[in-house]
Amino acid sequence: MIVNRPGELSYAGLQTFLKLPVCLTPADLRAGGVDIAIAGVPWDGTATTRSGTQLGPKAIRAADHLTGWPAPRAHLDVRVDPLEVLTVVDYGDSPIVMGNSDLTFQGIRAFVAEILSGGATPIILGGDHGITWPVATAVADAYGYGRVGIVHFDAHADTAPDSPGTLGGHGAPMRHLIESGAVPGRNFVQVGLRGYWPDAPVLAWMEEHGLRTHFMAEIRKDGFDAVLERALDEALDTADHLYISVDVDVADPAYAPGTGSPEPGGLTSGEVLRAVRRLAAEVGMVGMDVVEVSPPFDVGNNITALFAHRCVTEALTGTAMRRLGLTQPDYIDPRSAGTGGARTYRNS
């Protein structure tokens, strides 16, 4: 179902991601030969800090400012238009049971299973980070427990034990995935951790379970490119299938202020975007989430929602590059790399 009238802008009219067509059933996904289904999980019931992430999917969809689909969308770095290569749809939002994380998480797991049963790769717009537990579990249900690896971009480890009386806090999804066997600890590659948490017992638990954690300290010491290469190598050797989880707070609050647990001293938005594209192109992905966008705390014309939006478009671009065979390390189109094309210099 096409949702935009001719000439309608992306931020106007019926709001889907990039004004993409709507698909609401697995049968439609199959009939349309859909490669990627983008869907929202408007949930903030497991946030332990300031919240507002239930408004994330809506804000991310509305953050775009380019013209509506099917306008050209070629990424200038690589000169690939993902929407020319892939069939992508908006699958709407997961059901939510307000105030009940148990029932909500069951619903999210079934919702993502539905997308996978339709043959499409899910890209999920959060929502607080608690949702990664049911979303990645659904992906592991489809591809096999222990066979999925997660590259996890975050300021925080999200490996906390649950607080008494709560289920699935947004600081605990990775621990649930590891303890359930869905995604073993050794299949985790974490990037961007900093600040003042977790404490020593949680860090010891992470070491025991073999997580490969890249702290900001390592990134500052060796540079982001070197650490990204390590993360790419680990993503390739840890598991058969890659899931990408992007907590927007991995970026410095200067780039992503609209989030529940901001932590100064993070990555730039450009670093995160390129990392997502390279993972999707060079490793290939079977699922992704972008979480923790909190529109009530966002500033500057929704820059955090726009950052999340572009994390998704980078993943689309990378997936399209992989389909086209552009999987060499850090591929850049020569016309954009300053190494080719029609540029001439005065002294050359």
Which residues contact Mn ion by CB under 5 A?
129, 154, 158, 247
Smallest separation (angstroms) from Mn ion to the CB of 81: 31
Please say which residue, 20 or 293, places its beta carbon nearer to Mn ion: 293
Are residues 116 and 90 in contact, defined by beta-carbon separation less than 8 angstroms?
no
C-alpha 142/C-alpha 124 separation (Å) is 16
**Using CA atoms, how far apart are residues 105 and 95, in angstroms rounded to an integer?**
9
Cβ 141 to Mn ion shortest distance, Å: 22
Distance CA 173, CA 245 (A): 11
Who contacts 157 (Cβ-Cβ below 8 Å, separation ≥6)? 174, 190, 193, 197, 198, 202, 203, 206, 211, 213
Considering the complex, state which of residue 120 and residue 293 has its C-beta at the smaller distance from Mn ion.
293
Cis ω before 295 (30° cut-off from 0): no
- Select 34 or 206, whichever has its Cβ closest to Mn ion: 206
Residue whose CB is less far from Mn ion, 95 or 195: 195
DSSP H helices in the chain: 26-32, 56-62, 82-85, 101-117, 132-143, 173-179, 200-208, 216-222, 224-238, 269-278, 303-324, 334-337
Helices and strands in the chain, H and E counts: 12, 8
CA distances from 51 to 108, 128, 178, 206, 328 (A): 19, 8, 25, 26, 40
8 Å CB contact between 16 and 91: no
Query: Least distance from C-beta 68 to Mn ion, angstroms?
Result: 32
Indicate the residue among 68 and 126 with the shorter CB distance to Mn ion: 126
What's the chain's length in residues? 348
Q: Which is nearer to Mn ion, 154 or 298 (CB)?
A: 154
Nearer to Mn ion, 120 or 125 (CB): 125
CB of residue 55 to Mn ion, shortest distance in Å: 17
Distance separating alpha carbons of residues 83 and 4, to the nearest angstrom: 15
CB 250, min distance to Mn ion, A: 8
The nearest distance, CB 328 to Mn ion, in angstroms, is 31
Residue 290 CB, nearest approach to Mn ion (Å): 11
Q: Whose Cβ is closer to Mn ion: residue 109's or residue 129's? A: 129
Question: What minimum distance in Å lies between the beta carbon of 170 and Mn ion?
Answer: 6
